[in-house]
């Protein structure tokens, strides 16, 4: 340990100036949690030889309220306090999801499989549409040198999602042009249905 310290300071030069503290893992020489985290992650990856990063940018990098970020952090880590989790921790409660009482309440049941929740997932096709359009536009760029335009990609995602929702009974109450004109409102449920006739 002493040899390690001596090897580190061996090439240093000393002066009569006052000593000062400096954090070597940030550009400004000041401690930040981010710089410490990045150093720890780099050290961990150097040890294990793998740099698979947890997708924390999906919530920490978003402009969302802190309680929403914390909720998604717990959700991604599988730490959401569902009834099944609480029973596993020793609470004496029913494990069944109270919204439908069909299956034990798990993260999957809560957000994906309950029939009531399925009604809310009008845009459940969205991740698939995004992935497909990204792949399609990537291929157009690779094979045809067509530079992707974000506006074209967004419109195609909206159109695919609309098309794939063909089995949703509520779709007949909306016009595609109204949905495209207010996509965010449609996803949020604030676009009023129109009478089509």
The answer to whether residues 98 and 107 touch, using CB atoms and an 8 Å cutoff, is: no
Q: pLDDT-derived band of residue 53, with 50, 70 and 90 as boundaries?
A: low
Tokens matching residue 180: 């495209």
Helix ranges, 121-197 (H)? 126-144, 150-164, 176-181, 183-188
Residues 108, 121: Cα–Cα separation, whole Å: 13
Strand pairing partners for 96?
104
- The 10 Å Cβ neighbour count of residue 179 is 19
Residues 162, 155: Cα–Cα separation, whole Å: 11
pLDDT at 143: 81
**What single-letter DSSP state applies at residue 56?**
G
- pLDDT 10s digits, 17-28: 887 788 887 888
Tokens matching residue 5: 């310290």
- pLDDT 10s digits, 87-113: 999 989 888 877 777 778 888 777 766
Strand pairing partners for 104?
96
Q: Where are the domains of the chain?
A: 56-118, 122-188
Higher pLDDT, 169 or 179: 179
pLDDT at 187: 67
For residues 5-13, give the mean pLDDT.
72
Average pLDDT, the chain: 77
Three-state DSSP state, 96: strand
pLDDT at 195: 44
Give CA angle at 29 (25, 30), nearest 5°: 95
Residue with structure tokens 């990063």? 53
Residue 167 has pLDDT above 70, yes or no: no
Higher pLDDT, 168 or 75: 75
pLDDT at 64: 72
pLDDT at 60: 76
pLDDT at 192: 61
């Amino acid at each position: 340990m002493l040899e390690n310290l001596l090897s580190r300071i061996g090439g240093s030069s000393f002066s009569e100036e006052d000593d000062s503290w400096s954090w070597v893992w940030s550009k400004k020489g000041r401690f930040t949690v981010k710089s410490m985290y990045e150093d720890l992650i780099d050290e961990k990856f150097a040890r294990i030889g793998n740099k698979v990063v947890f997708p924390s940018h999906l919530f920490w990098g978003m402009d969302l309220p802190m309680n929403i970020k914390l909720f998604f952090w717990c959700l991604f880590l599988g730490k959401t306090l569902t009834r099944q989790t609480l029973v596993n921790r020793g609470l004496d409660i029913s494990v069944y999801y109270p919204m439908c009482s069909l299956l034990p309440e798990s993260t999957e049941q809560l957000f994906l499989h309950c029939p009531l929740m399925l009604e809310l997932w009008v845009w459940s096709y969205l991740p698939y549409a995004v992935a497909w359009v990204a792949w399609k536009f990537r291929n157009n760029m690779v094979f045809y040198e067509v530079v992707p335009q974000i506006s074209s990609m967004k419109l195609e995602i909206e159109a695919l999602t609309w098309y794939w929702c063909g089995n949703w009974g509520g779709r007949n109450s909306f016009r595609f042009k109204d949905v495209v004109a207010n996509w965010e409102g449609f996803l949020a449920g604030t676009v009023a249905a129109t009478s089509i006739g």
